Amino acid sequence: MATAQDISVLDSAARAAQAVEDAADIHGERMVLNMGPSHPATHGVLRIVLELDGEVITKADPDVGYLHRGDEKIAENMTYTQFIPYTDRLDYLAPLANNVAYALAVEKLMGIDKQLPPRCQFIRVICCELARVSAHLLGLGAFAMDVGALTVFLFTFTEREKIYNLIEALTGARFTTTYTRIGGLARDLPRGWVEQCRKFLNEVVLNFDESEKLLTRNRIFVDRTKDIGVIPKEVAIDYGLTGPNLRGSGVEYDLRKAHPCLVYERLQFDIPVGSVGDCYDRYLVRMEEMRQSVRILHQCLDQLPGGPDNKAGEPINVPDGKTVLPEKEKVLTGMEELIHQFILVTQGVNAPSGEIYFSAENPKGELGFYIHSKGGGTPHRLKIRAPSFVNLSILPWLLPNNMMSDVVAILGSLDFVMGECDR
Amino acid sequence: MTSGEIAIQLKSKFGELLSEPVEFRGEYTLKLADAERIAEVCALAKKELGFDFLVDITSIDNYGEDPRWTVVYHLYGYGHHLSVRIKTDVSEEKSELPTVTSVWRTADWHEREIYDMMGIRFSGHPDLRRILMWEGYPYYPLRKDFPLAGKPTDLPGVAFTKVTPLEGGPFVTLPSSGDAIAREPRVRTPEDAEPAISDKRLVGGKLQ
């Protein structure tokens, strides 16, 4: 039995009209949009020239260098110790971590990195982890704010302020810390600092919980970050991504575990990794990293050689008068110390000729220093391998085919800092 | 396996082209004799020896020596957690070597930075432009013969057009056609500055 069926077939005129409409959609007029260098979501002075087809990005060309100060050139023209303040201004959200990484690089060149006293190593780890918590708090707060959750920003900044108070008590400055010296530290922990730090650690975990409650299962936040800006593992490695951005893509690699410096080998902590590599994974990785940092900090404060106020008089500097400035009292009374002080201040430490590369796991990723020395107190070439610079180089690959409004989510999740990128 | 062993393996694949690995502070450096073959060496290191992560590329200016440039590659493998450094010399006349962007895409920005700062070109690079300095900047600032204080250029950079109110006073330097140190407040052209310098030159800390 035959049945009647209605089939709608467009006539040729209607088909042509349809084709023109489709083609117009595909080949719409491209618009070039200039984002930055002064845009709140670019976290500094990043400029991106975006080519848009409607709301979809077809091409992205990042323009960096607005904050270029020639740090590498400057380093060639001063002693190793004089360059320490410049490292504050690389990743200016984690100056303590930069100080430590730079000092360790020069110490590796001089071959004294294994002689660092244990108390110095513990204090340096404390510095690195405080810097990590502080940098991630800012990164998360700004990321959440960029996708519309302003409250988190206020929460994280409250805690960050407490870290800066601790850092001020420790170094005398809130941002420009210049805390490390070649072969040691500028000064020991002030009295009562360990207790203040413990109090802060107990408070900050409550804040992590609050921030997480506001974000992790927040429908808007999840919708704006999940499956957005996906970086597969192979691409992340190919583009040289490091730090939380690499681990967010599922590569379990952390320099603190793979090549532990200082006392990281003796500390218990886990490396969080993501599974998909989207903005949401990078957020989760940073959140968990902060908790792990708190775990490390607790262990360091408990195991600190010499106790909180160093009643035992544990040294914090390498016992070598030709590397570390002698005590002022001895300089004023002893001839040998006076000579050492004079040579150190005028000529700097006497580094051997050779070349080294040292990298540390900083909040933004692998911060590396390549030092090519011809001997003496000044490097012949000092190259800074800035994680933010390398992490940003993925943008021309990552941004196309995303919506315009997702750019802020992707930039926020990459968590870069231009002071380091532009050097 | 250790870094030393993998460096010897890499050397054995290329024979005389790569030098014996040199150890310093636990790091191994190989010197490549012919810069033209850097991409080939890197491709093999990635494919057969698992160096999947290009940490960094940098350049050194051996000013006054020949060859003038040294380009340094830091390789790392996530599979074996070992690293090796490959160095190669490039002469000043040539100032060019092949790109490794086809091996690791991260090389793109590193090579642009070297081109920008040192003026070494990478043949085959998809997009060799300046990256930190602006397009059209005439110098290569990381060269040893480029002064630390910088050089004046015709390009934008005019911060002030008039003489500052406290000129000659404390903390205010004089306008001149010299370098960035001598030139603050800046002037539009060196000619504008000439009378100002001859009139007021600081001698022995005093205005004459």
- Closest-CA residue of A relative to B133 is A65
Q: Show the tokens assigned to A48.
A: 């991106």
The answer to whether the CB atoms of A381 and B58 lie below 8 A apart is yes
The answer to whether the CB atoms of A240 and B104 lie below 8 A apart is yes
- Alpha-carbon span A169 to A189, nearest angstrom: 9
Tell me the chain A residues in contact with residue B30 when contact means C-beta distances shorter than 8 Å: none
B87: left (phi over 0), alpha (psi -120 to 50) or beta: beta
Reported as a single tens digit per residue, the pLDDT across A294-335 is 999 999 999 988 888 888 888 888 888 788 888 888 888 988
Query: Domain spans of chain A?
Result: 63-422
Q: Are strands B22-24 and B69-76 parallel, antiparallel or unpaired?
A: unpaired
Phi, psi of A78 (to 5 degrees): -150, 170
Whole-number pLDDT of residue B187: 41
Q: How far is A308 from chain B (nearest CA, A)?
A: 34
Residue A419 has pLDDT above 60, yes or no: yes
Q: How far is B196 from chain A (nearest CA, A)?
A: 29
Q: Which residue has the higher pLDDT, A266 or B155?
A: A266
- Alpha-carbon span B112 to B126, nearest angstrom: 10
Instruction: Using a CB–CB cutoff of 8 Å, tell me whether A47 touches chain B.
Output: no
Tell me the chain B residues in contact with residue A390 when contact means C-beta distances shorter than 8 Å: 106, 109-110
Residue type, B150: G
Tell me the chain B residues in contact with residue A70 when contact means C-beta distances shorter than 8 Å: 141-142
Whole-number pLDDT of residue A96: 92
- Closest-CA residue of A relative to B74 is A357
- Alpha-carbon span A366 to A363, nearest angstrom: 8
CB B132 within 8 A of CB B117: yes
Reported as a single tens digit per residue, the pLDDT across B92-138 is 888 899 999 999 999 999 999 999 999 999 999 998 888 988 887 88
Mean pLDDT computed over every residue of chain A:
88
- Alpha-carbon span A100 to A86, nearest angstrom: 13
Reported as a single tens digit per residue, the pLDDT across B162-176 is 555 555 554 444 555
Query: Domain spans of chain B?
Result: 3-123, 147-208
> Nearest 5°: CA angle at A357, between A356 and A363?
150
Whole-number pLDDT of residue B26: 87
- Closest-CA residue of A relative to B147 is A73
Contacts of A198 (CB under 8 A, 6+ apart): A298, A301
- Alpha-carbon span B76 to B97, nearest angstrom: 22
Whole-number pLDDT of residue B186: 42
- The DSSP 8-state label assigned to residue B175 in this structure reads P
Q: What would be the CATH architecture of the domain defined by B3-123?
A: 2-Layer Sandwich (3.30)
- Alpha-carbon span A371 to A356, nearest angstrom: 5
Whole-number pLDDT of residue A244: 93
Residue B162 CA from chain centroid, whole number: 35
The answer to whether the CB atoms of B56 and A383 lie below 8 A apart is yes
CATH superfamily of the domain spanning A63-422: Cytochrome-c3 Hydrogenase, chain B (1.10.645.10)
Whole-number pLDDT of residue A349: 87
- Closest-CA residue of A relative to B110 is A390
Residue A98 has pLDDT above 90, yes or no: yes
Tell me the chain B residues in contact with residue A251 when contact means C-beta distances shorter than 8 Å: 78
The answer to whether the CB atoms of A397 and B105 lie below 8 A apart is yes
Whole-number pLDDT of residue A87: 92
Instruction: Using a CB–CB cutoff of 8 Å, tell me whether A423 touches chain B.
Output: yes
Tell me the chain A residues in contact with residue B141 when contact means C-beta distances shorter than 8 Å: 70, 73
Q: Which residues of chain B have pLDDT under 70?
A: 153-208
- Alpha-carbon span A364 to A100, nearest angstrom: 15
Reported as a single tens digit per residue, the pLDDT across A209-253 is 988 888 888 888 998 898 888 999 999 999 999 999 999 999 999
Reduced to 3 states, what is the DSSP secondary structure of residue B31?
strand
Tell me the chain A residues in contact with residue B52 when contact means C-beta distances shorter than 8 Å: 237-238
